[in-house]
Amino acid sequence: MNRIGYLILYFCLGVVGVFQIFPLVWLVLFSLKDTREIFGGSPLALPQELKWENYIKVWQGDIGVYFFNSVWYTVVAIFLTVLLASMATFAITRMRWKLSSLVLGLFMVGLMIPIHSALIPLFKMFLTVNLIDNPFSIIITYTAYNLPITMMILLGFYYTLPREIEEAAIIDGCSINRLFFRIIIPMTIPVMSTTVIINMIYNWNEFVFVNTFISSDKYKTLTVGIQNFVGQYMTDWGAIGATLVISIVPILIAFFFFSNKIVEGISASAVKG
């Protein structure tokens, strides 16, 4: 009976896996066809001839600039978010001070603020300090908006850390800064990996802030820049498919390498003692 149960479970998981992977496979095949094949044949048919020139065509445009912008916006914002969230979580959970609960509550309020309700205030603020059409407006916004969810993930893990390790380090003459960077940070690598992939997915796919605060093509990200290719290649759907494939490849690579860390981080945050 156990063997039959496992067979049924694996069969169901296999069916779910097929449904999850099929759209990606279809998109890759879509990007390797020309417009005549896409609209003239079956959408599930294999390409008669692989049109790799679709990728060459879009890369010769501005997609390289958009891709680079997405990468460095994402990397810088992730670094700042994880570092600041780790510092704040360490101060709230491992130090004793009167307003720690209030400060934590203020950070958690950020989870309840919808993105669209903050667009106009943020636009006015960035306009006042001349940060409209400036990459720093995107990095600051990404960092601020991801702090609450990052801290919420870190909180559960920080509460489980044994205080004896900190006490032993302090007895040996370790300063607070050295304690944080040399002891606490290495111990929190699993849960930090979880926050990194979550932040990466959000920052890489974000559209609203870039579309609102950035107007120059040289500062646009891949998700916003694809709009230009839709207009430019209105009749060349294969090229549009190629831009979409390029946009999802980094996320797939990151998830492939960090998937185990995500499970470890979530498990570590959920278990106490």
Say which amino acid occupies 63: I
Separation in Å, CA 251 to CA 62, 113, 189, 256: 20, 26, 20, 8
> Which pLDDT score, from 0 to 100, does residue 263 have?
61
User: What are 185-191's contacts with CB under 8 Å, separation 24+?
Assistant: 185/86, 187/161, 188/86, 188/154, 188/157, 188/158, 188/161, 190/157, 190/261, 190/264, 190/265, 190/268, 191/153, 191/154, 191/157, 191/265, 191/268, 191/269
Q: How many CB atoms lie within 10 A of CB 107?
A: 20
* Res. 79 pLDDT band, cuts 50 70 90: very high
Evaluate whether 146 touches 81 at the Cβ level (below 8 Å).
Answer: yes
For the cut 80, the answer to whether the pLDDT of residue 269 exceeds it is no
Could you read off the pLDDT of 16-62 as tens digits, one per residue? Answer: 988 988 888 888 888 888 877 877 777 778 888 888 888 888 887 77
> Which pLDDT score, from 0 to 100, does residue 149 have?
92
Evaluate whether 199 touches 146 at the Cβ level (below 8 Å).
Answer: yes
Could you read off the pLDDT of 182-238 as tens digits, one per residue? Answer: 889 988 888 888 899 889 989 998 999 999 999 888 899 988 877 766 655 456 677
Q: Kindly state the percentage of the chain with pLDDT values over 90.
A: 30
Cα–Cα distance for residue pair 161/156, rounded to 1 Å = 9
For the cut 50, the answer to whether the pLDDT of residue 272 exceeds it is no
| CATH class assigned to 54-270 | mainly alpha
Cα–Cα distance for residue pair 273/156, rounded to 1 Å = 11
> Which pLDDT score, from 0 to 100, does residue 273 have?
42
Record the tokens describing residue 145, joined without a space: 């908006």
Mean pLDDT of all residues belonging to the chain: 85
Cα–Cα distance for residue pair 255/260, rounded to 1 Å = 9
